[in-house]
Amino acid sequence: MTTVTSPLAGRAIGLAAVPDPVFSGAMVGPGTAIDPAREASEAVAPVDGVIVSLHPHAFVVVDDSGHGVLTHLGIDTVQLNGEGFELLVAKGDRVTRGQAVVRWNPAAVEAAGKSPVCPVVALEATAESLSELRDSGDVKTGDSLFSWN
């Protein structure tokens, strides 16, 4: 079983509340979403593993059991072309849970007209394979978001 922890502080809102049909419809996979605190911060690895995909606005960590976890920093933030995001690791790096991956500012994303809401998705999973899913309430960086069986 893999425990997926929050890559940032804020409020858990669940995927259904994400202002994007691909995420809210769980087309990418099941999971939850965080409405982040509006301050400059670092998004951290939600699991121990290897960075297999890395963009300023999104990253995927695959753990040793082969589970891939996508952290997407905001909605439509690819349109910002990396502005306001700083990569702190490289693709292929092994990271530990809680290690900083991207530095960003959700308030700046919002000021640029984009939603700062952050989906945290279990890739190639089924909703039934997740348990203890957190979709409401305040979360701190590192708090458990869901377990992946």
As a dihedral over the C-alpha atoms of residue 53, residue 116, residue 5, residue 11, rounded to 10 degrees, the angle is -170
pLDDT tens-digit series, residues 54-78: 999 999 999 999 999 999 999 999 9
Q: What are phi and psi of 2, to 5 degrees?
A: -110, 130
d(CA 149, CA 142): 19
**pLDDT band for position 124 (cuts 50, 70, 90):** very high
Q: SS3 breakdown of the chain: % helix, strand, coil, rounded to 5? A: 15, 40, 45
Structure confidence at residue 9 (pLDDT): 98
Cβ-proximal residues to 37 (8 Å cutoff; 6+ apart), any chain: 8, 9, 10, 106
**pLDDT band for position 131 (cuts 50, 70, 90):** very high
Structure confidence at residue 15 (pLDDT): 96
**pLDDT band for position 81 (cuts 50, 70, 90):** very high
Structure confidence at residue 135 (pLDDT): 95
Active site residues: 72
Structure confidence at residue 130 (pLDDT): 97
Residue 65 has which token pair?
């059991």
Structure confidence at residue 62 (pLDDT): 98
Structure confidence at residue 56 (pLDDT): 96
Task: Walk me through the domains of the chain, giving residue ranges and CATH numbers.
Answer: 2-136 (2.70.70.10)
Q: Residue 121 CB: number of other CB atoms within 10 A?
A: 25
Measure Cα distances from 87 to 44, 93, 98, 100 in Å: 11, 12, 15, 9
Percent of the chain with pLDDT over 90: 99
